[in-house]
Amino acid sequence: MAPPTLSFSQTNGYWFLRINTRLLNADLFPNPQADLGSPAGRKRFQSAHQEWQGKGYVFEDAAVLALNAGDLFSIDRFPTLIDQRANQDPMRSQAGPRPPPFPSLTNPRPGVYPIVDNLKDLRSLLEAGAKIIQLRIKTESTALRGVVLQAVELAKAYPQSQCFINDYWQLAIEAGAYGVHLGQEDLLTADLDAIARAGLRLGVSSHCFWEVVRAHTVQPSYIACGPLFPTRAKVMPWIAQGIENLHYWVNLLPYPIVGIGGVNTENLNAIHAAGAGAASIIQAIVGALDPGDAYRALQRQWDQNESNEVSRQGSSTRTIAKPTLSRV
């Protein structure tokens, strides 16, 4: 395995950092105040990069943190990130005009966000009043297109719903879906311009600093942050972030934040108190005897907190997100 590398480059007089590792092959375009163009600025970056690694952050996250231009609590001081494999124009990330953001959520604080993998559960939860929901089908089949088309048509009958299709952005565009949710790997291959032209909302998953700045670069409709707690939904290398990391992402990012991973009735209040706009829940809903009843109970719990503004506290401490991936 080749060792990770960093190199300084410039285009049209604009300096950026190229990073190549097992996890990330990308160009990081810093805020001009990071002063990457001077020898002294590059030396400061190298020193800071080593310092952040010493604090437990992986090589990639340490590079993002070291490029921050003096304020770890302002997303505008972080670099933008264009993956070298992505279907994006690198010039979009430079100091000139940025592409317009994706449309905002109709309801930015919908609360409980169920994820389902079939039309039966989708219908049940729409009937139960779901304000946001996602269809996530991980196994492709000849029936996939028909299922997505039916799901979108079904959701249109429930005006309060914000129905996202996971992964299958081409089908989401064809069906006229409300939105599409993409993981980080899907961001590398999806035609984001086509999604934007179709008027779809975009949700993006994130787990760490470099994924957050990549998500921010495309200016989505919401960003999902996690896993907050240990989860059985999928096997992942990520360390559970906990509520303090969620506080940080909510305060840092100018989008609705969805808390994901291990969410249940015991920790739902804390997620709300951190300022998240929604909490993604799978097993506690679809694993229940009656998913509709389970959803309604969880949504009532969220709404009770929502009616009490004191419960949405935000963070009183100035602490950045802790490492979420082991360096081992």
Q: What does pLDDT average to in each consecutive run of 10 residues of the chain (328 residues)?
A: 90 91 94 89 96 96 96 95 71 56 98 97 98 92 92 96 97 98 94 96 97 96 96 74 97 98 96 98 95 98 85 64 81
For residue 281, give the DSSP letter.
E
Asked whether 165 and 154 are in contact (CB, 8 A), the reply is no
- Whole-number pLDDT of residue 236: 66
For residues 242 and 151, give the distance between their C-alpha atoms in angstroms, rounded to a whole number. Answer: 33
pLDDT at 2: 81
What angle do helix axes 209-218 and 59-66 make, rounded to 10 degrees?
A: 60
The neighbour count for residue 125, using CB atoms within 10 Å, is 24
Helix (H, G, I), strand (E, B) or coil at 182: strand
Calculate the dihedral angle through the C-alpha atoms of 244, 246, 250, 256, rounding to the nearest 10 degrees. -160
Per-residue model confidence (pLDDT) at position 326: 73
CA 56 to chain centre: 22
**Which amino acid makes up residue 96?**
G
- Taking the CA atoms of 14, 19, 25 and 30 in sequence, report the sign of the dihedral they define: negative
Residue showing tokens 């808390």 = 259
Q: Would you state the pLDDT for residue 88? A: 56
- In 3D space, the residue among 118, 144, 119, 115 whose CA is nearest the CA of residue 132 turns out to be 115
Q: What is the pLDDT of residue 235?
A: 61
Transcribe 58-90 into DSSP letters: -HHHHHHHHT--S-TT-GGGSPEEEETTSSS-G
Residue 103 is predicted with a pLDDT of 98
pLDDT recorded at residue 274: 97
- Residues 305 and 269: their CA atoms lie apart, in Å, by 7
